[in-house]
Chain A
Amino acid sequence: MKRYRPPRLRLEALAVWRRNALVWRRLMAASLLLHFGEPLLYLLGIGYGLGRFVGEIDGMAYFTFLASGFIAWSAMNVASMESMWSVYTRMVPQQTYEAILATPAEVDDIVMGELLWCGTKSLVSGSAILAVAALLGAVHDWTALLAIPVIFLTGLCFAAPGLIVTAYARAYEYFNFYMTLFMTPMFILCGVFYPISTLPGPMQTVVQFLPLTHAVAIIRPLVVGAPVENFWLHLGALVLFGTICAWVAAILVRRRLIQ
């Protein structure tokens, strides 16, 4: 059945991506200020302030530990916000998709275009934090550049469940469920602030099923210049989670837009 087939990537998706990029370009200054300014404040405040008491974690300064965690968290956060609030705005109040669907572009192009765009926004924000961290001396190796594609992948990976929530959403308030039940626990539990090895045993198992854990597990060692343990496992977990969610999102968005 067509309704259930996996989404296809076509050139029309790039038109959807380009639309968002052009809108973003207009507001770029404000957006970059947010991407640079906010992590800078967090890193300085928590990283230096708290870092003085914490000292070292896993053989690195707390500042470095936190910066690398923030990169992954920011990728998740930016992609989630975009795939929920912004996509909902384009879908419901603005009826942008209704207009697009009157052209040869299809729902799959909207889904793929939005996923790519969310990934791109994550890429920008994650890279901005990486740059800030590098300027502050927290980045120790050129392998940090390898984190950039992982940031993009992390963005894609979290944009997909965001689209699923949006496909069901009847109002902006709906997103609070997802934020509180899924995103905030990951922010707190998945190794952004402290190593997951400090969690109680059963919780350590639980967090292995949360995708942010795997994003942090790849990005942190790359930023520090340490070898990535179980790289393929973590990468596989992210890809699997993202692929399944993207497929489900395509089915649900088709159902929402084509009635």
Chain B
Amino acid sequence: MSPEEKQSVVNCRQLVKRFGDLCAVNGISFNVPKGICFGILGPNGAGKTTTLRMLLGQSPRSGGALEVFGEDIDSARKRIRQRTGIVPQADNLDPDFTVAENLSMYGSYFRLDHQTVQKRIPELLSMVELLARADDRIGTLSGGMKRRLTLARALINDPDLLVLDEPTTGLDPQARHMIWSLVHKLKRDGRTILLTTHYMEEAERLCDELIIVDSGRLIAQGSPNALIAEHCESDVLEIRGLTHELDQKGLAQNFRWELSGDSAYLYSDDSHALLEYAASHNEATALHRKTGLEDVFLRLTGRGLRG
């Protein structure tokens, strides 16, 4: 084991999960260094959540090696969970309790002492801006508030590792930006963050390093910028609302291009060439921009729809 791996919070090798004949995770290996935000990206059904569940010991793995905080998940599950906070994809706050009671109840499952929990509750609630709602029932909260409370709940045990499973799915832009700034703050506090998402903007903003998985396999790994540099040209011209056939032969000589519905995507490292093309073909809306993670993602996982 290299010194780098010793410092890693999560280390998995050839992780496999089978459900009957279905292989949901098929030999994924990665390493999450301490103190970074690590992303797991992939289309729906790629095996992201299954991977997280194995990391947390909530689902036994079918094969491979898996260590969290340097310990095997099977033998040290309790110790690992004591240091981990989880924001699941679906809200599972306890509807029988108030906002503050949800936190104290959760603390009791960690067997934290009462005073510590009572001290942390107002701190956490003010951090997620829910202090004023402390005595309200869960049913009265909006989706964004529930998500913030779930994040606060995941911090009740002051975890070293925070796992966020699609933390901003279904949230409005305000709530999403708030979650993002909280994630930044938590990272600054020195916590390691592991998150899954299928929002590429989110991954570009938050993740220091990420993997892209598809159909249970790891297909790319690196920092957002490195992945863009490795898998994509620097610029893209998006032509929307195509009304007639493009001159495909002419295109192919100059650019790598993709068709999707009534849009075409022309990729090149030469932005001038793209702009010239746009100027000479003004029959449709053309948008020139720098390529991003979304272009990498679509290139690697294809444009076909997923379950």
Using CB atoms, name the residue of chain A closest to B108. A15
* Chain B 89-105 interface mask (CB, 8 Å, partner A; 1/0): 01011111100010001
Q: B19, B81, B90, B96: which contacts A103 (Cβ < 8 A)?
A: B81
Q: Is the CB of A258 within 8 A of B59?
A: yes
Q: How large is the interface on A (under 10, 10 to 19, 20 to 34, 35 or more residues)?
A: 20 to 34
Question: Does A103 lie within 8 Å of B97, measured CB to CB?
Answer: no
A258:B109 contact, CB within 8 angstroms:
no
Contacts A11-B111, A104-B110, A105-B109; is A99 near B88 (CB within 8 Å)?
yes
Docked CA distance A102–B59 (Å): 11
Inter-subunit contact A99/B60 (CB<8 Å): no
Residues of B within 8 Å of A100, CB to CB, are 109
Q: Are B94 and A98 in contact (CB under 8 A)?
A: no
B93 close to A99 (CB less than 8 A): yes
Closest Cβ neighbor of B87 among chain A residues: A102
> From DSSP, what is the main secondary structure of chain B's interface residues?
loop
Q: Give every chain B residue within 8 A of A26 (Cβ-Cβ).
A: 96
Q: Is A259 an interface residue (CB 8 A)?
A: yes
Q: Which residue on chain B has the smallest CB distance to residue A20?
A: B96
Question: Does residue A101 face the partner (Cβ distance < 8 Å to B)?
Answer: yes
B-chain residues with CB within 8 Å of residue A11 when the two chains form the complex? 111
A68 to chain B, nearest CB (A): 34
Instruction: State whether A19 and B105 are in contact (beta carbons under 8 Å apart), knowing that A258-B58, A259-B19 are contacts in the complex.
Output: yes
Chain A residues in 8 Å Cβ range of B108? 15, 18-19
**How many whole Å from A180's CB to the nearest CB in chain B?**
30
Say whether B82 faces chain A, with CB atoms less than 8 Å apart.
yes
Quick check: B60 and A258 within 8 Å, CB to CB? yes
Interface residues of A in 13-54 (CB under 8 A from B): 15-16, 18-19, 22-23, 26
Task: Assess A103 versus B110: contact at CB under 8 Å? Given A19-B105, A96-B92, A98-B92.
Answer: yes
A23-B96, A23-B97, A102-B58 known; A15+B111 contact, CB < 8 A:
yes
Quick one: closest B residue to A100, CB to CB?
A: B109
- Judged by a CB distance under 8 angstroms, whether B236 is at the interface is no
Q: Is the CB of B94 within 8 A of A102?
A: no
Residue A204 interfacial (CB < 8 Å) = no
A15 in contact with B109 (CB, 8 Å): yes
The answer to whether A184 has its CB under 8 Å from any CB of chain B is no
Chain A residues with CB under 8 A of B90? 95
| Interface presence of B277 (CB below 8 A) | no
* A103 surroundings in chain B (CB, below 8 A): 81, 106, 109-110, 157
Q: Please report the C-alpha to C-alpha distance between residue A139 and residue B268 in the assembled complex, in whole angstroms.
A: 92
Majority secondary structure of chain A interface residues (helix, strand, loop or mixed): helix
> Is A205 an interface position by the 8 A CB rule?
no
Bound form: Cα–Cα A105–B92 in Å:
16
Docked pose: A23 CA to B95 CA in angstroms:
10
Q: Least Cβ distance of A5 to chain B in Å?
A: 14
Q: Contacting A96 at CB < 8 Å: which of B82, B84, B94?
A: B94
- B86 on interface, CB distance cutoff 8 Å: yes
Complex Cα gap A19–B95 (Å): 12
A15 to B88, CA, bound (A): 21
**CB-defined contacts of A22 to chain B, threshold 8 Å:** 97, 101, 105
The smallest C-beta distance from B151 to any residue of chain A, in angstroms, reads 13
* Interface residues, chain A, with chain B CB atoms under 8 Å away: 11-12, 15-16, 18-19, 22-23, 26, 94-96, 98-106, 258-259
A sample of 25 inter-chain contacts (CB < 8 A) reads A11-B111, A12-B109, A12-B111, A15-B108, A15-B109, A15-B111, A19-B94, A19-B105, A19-B108, A23-B97, A94-B92, A95-B92, A98-B92, A99-B106, A101-B58, A102-B86, A102-B88, A103-B109, A103-B110, A103-B157, A104-B82, A104-B109, A104-B110, A106-B78, A258-B58
Q: List 3 A-B pairs, minimum CB-CB distance, nearest first.
A: A95-B92, A103-B109, A102-B86
A23-B97, A102-B88, A103-B157 known; 17 other A-B pairs, CB under 8 Å?
A11-B111, A12-B111, A15-B108, A16-B109, A19-B94, A22-B101, A22-B105, A94-B95, A95-B92, A96-B94, A98-B92, A102-B56, A102-B58, A102-B84, A103-B110, A104-B78, A104-B110
